[in-house]
Each structure stands twice: as C-alpha cells, then as structure tokens.
Amino acid sequence: MKNFLTLLLFCMAVLPASASLIGDDIDARWQFVPGGFDFSETFTVGPGIEGNPWVNTLLDISASAISIDYDGAGFTGQGVGSIFTFSDLDWVGTPGHIVDVLVSTNWIGFDDSFITFGTDWIEIDFLDDVSFDGGTDFFVMEIVASHNNPIPEPMTLSLLGMGIAGLAVRRRFSA
C-alpha cells in the first residue's frame, strides 16, 4: 500500500498543468478590403460569448476553439473581401504553439486553403467567393496546439511534499 501511495503521488507531480486560452488576451481584427473597413479589438477570453464585434456576428472563444456565428436575418450574400485575423494566442497554464486548425462550417464556398496560421496567430482570408444562406451561419476553428514544455503545477508539488512528509511522520511514529 505504501508503494502504491508513493507511486500515485509521484505521478501527480509530473502531470503538466492544463493549457487553455481562457484568461488570455486575444487580438481580433476584421478587414473588409473593398470598403476600406478595418476593425480591431482585444478580447479577454472568458466563459461564454466574448462579444458582438461585427454586425450580426457573435464571437466565442473557448479553451481551444474560436467560433464565429453570423445571423444575417435573411440576408444572403457574399463574404468576398473579408479577412479575419486572431493574434496573440497564448495558452494559460502550459506554453504551446499552433500546429493545425480544424474547421467546421456551413459557409458556402469555404475551402481549407483560406486558413493560414503561425505559432500564435490565425488568419481567415475570404477574398475569394464565400456566401451565406440567410440563416444562422457558423464557423468554428478547433485549434490544435503542441504543448511541449510540461511544467508541474505548483499545487501538485505542494501535495507531493505534504504526502512525503506524512509518510515520514507515519514511519517515525510507527517505529
């Protein structure tokens, strides 16, 4: 039993902290090239919807995804000329970098080639023909990140220390 407890405490100590975008400040930018419109805002990621930064649009950033919901209220149109950029994507808990972006959408004409990304930014280029069906249109980017720097959580190390101290005290009093 003592060996099992020691092994359990050791395993808890080497588990990395969970990584999340929640708590991070993210820069969001929307450029409408034909109209010369350029809108930028910084959002602090929290639970729920981050805001309504663009007309009829809800922006929701979760622990590892960015969701854009567009409600055109019957509007059917073209998204030609728009560029969305999300930058300063830093993970809270464990550092990481973007290695892939998986997209789920019902935007007509969307192609994976519209997405480019770097270690801490994502850009969606709708300069090509993309259209909306007039209902609630969604665009969800699941961010795949590599967290190659496993740093144990401070609380886990404290628990490990208390466990070892408890075992030492128990051994001393049982001898």
Task: Give the side-chain half-sphere CA count within 13 A for 162.
Answer: 7
SS3 9: helix
For residue 9, pLDDT over 70 is answered with no
Q: Show the tokens assigned to 155.
A: 């609380």
Q: Domain extents for the chain?
A: 2-15+153-174, 25-146
| pLDDT mean over 55-60 | 78
Predicted TM-score (pTM) of the model is 0.67
Q: Could you tell me which residues come within 8 angstroms of residue 112 by beta carbon, excluding any fewer than 6 positions away?
A: 103
Quick: pLDDT tens for 107-129.
778 888 889 999 899 998 876 66
Mean pLDDT of 80-92: 83
On the question of pLDDT at 4 being above 60, the answer is no
Res. 14 pLDDT band, cuts 50 70 90: very low
Query: Residue 77: is its pLDDT beyond 60?
Result: no
pLDDT at site 152: 59
Q: What is the pLDDT of residue 23?
A: 84
From 39, 46, 83, select the one nearest 61 (Cα to Cα).
Answer: 46
